[in-house]
């Protein structure tokens, strides 16, 4: 079972990361899907997407849940029936979930790609990164910023929220592995703690809404 990593953020918050190496048939063993999720899988043309989808159900098991415990609201945001918060991510052969009984949470895994240098202006003031001379370091930092904003978007889950105009990630060093962020939207402000880790050419970012001291 390729559980790649678990992170205990606090007594109330756990992160689970899976590296997808098994076949679809093996991943499907002992997994019971709801009719809704069966239909979702049937509509997935990519075998990799189906394998990732099933691996997330194994992560749910590790967190003591089943597929039937997962529900989605009208914005597509996942929730757990017992009231705990959950966020889900998938990138290539890695999947992850974060489960919290306290703070609202979001998680995102992103692969390091040079493409991010070309699209950075769409989600962050690019001049803030012009002093980073090393291209690899610039890719890594922008990937962390993008992952942070994806994580925050998953928490907020409101149509019209702009990565560039409404989500501000405070500057950080790659060695820090954490920062803070805020969302200013529709006259309201909310604050978040951001943490990230890098592995095998990927960055995993998770965000916690500031409501309790961890």
Catalogue all structural domains in the chain, each as residue range(s) with its CATH number: 3-102 (3.90.470.20), 107-209 (3.90.470.20)
Cβ contacts of residue 55 below 8 Å, gap of 6+? 18, 20, 22, 27, 95
pLDDT in tens, the chain (214 residues): 689 999 999 999 999 999 999 999 999 999 999 998 999 999 999 999 999 999 999 999 999 999 999 998 887 889 999 999 999 999 999 999 999 999 999 999 999 999 999 999 999 987 777 777 788 999 999 999 999 999 999 999 888 899 999 999 999 999 999 999 999 999 999 999 999 999 999 999 999 998 644 3
CA distance 178 to 214: 14
Q: How far apart are CA 82 and CA 102, in angstroms?
A: 12
Q: Which two tokens stand for residue 110?
A: 């992103």
């Amino acid at each position: 079972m390729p559980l790649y990593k678990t992170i205990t953020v606090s007594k109330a918050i756990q992160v689970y990361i899976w590296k997808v190496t098994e076949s679809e048939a093996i991943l499907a063993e002992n997994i019971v899907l709801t009719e809704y999720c069966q239909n979702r899988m049937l509509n997935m043309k990519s075998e990799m997407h189906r394998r990732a989808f099933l691996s997330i159900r194994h992560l749910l098991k590790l967190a003591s849940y089943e597929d039937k415990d997962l529900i989605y609201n009208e914005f597509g945001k996942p929730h757990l029936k017992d009231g705990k918060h959950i966020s889900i991510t998938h990138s290539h052969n890695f999947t992850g979930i974060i489960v919290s009984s306290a703070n609202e949470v979001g998680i995102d895994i992103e692969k390091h790609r040079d493409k991010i240098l070309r699209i950075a202006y769409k989600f962050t003031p690019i001049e803030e990164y012009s002093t980073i001379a090393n291209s690899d370091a610039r890719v890594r930092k922008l990937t962390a910023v993008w992952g942070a904003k994806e994580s925050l978007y998953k928490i907020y889950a409101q149509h019209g929220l702009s990565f560039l105009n409404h989500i501000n990630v405070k500057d950080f060093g790659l060695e820090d592995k954490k920062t803070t962020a805020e969302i200013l939207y529709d006259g309201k402000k909310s604050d978040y703690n951001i943490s990230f880790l890098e592995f095998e050419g990927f960055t995993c970012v998770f965000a916690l809404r500031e409501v309790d001291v961890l």
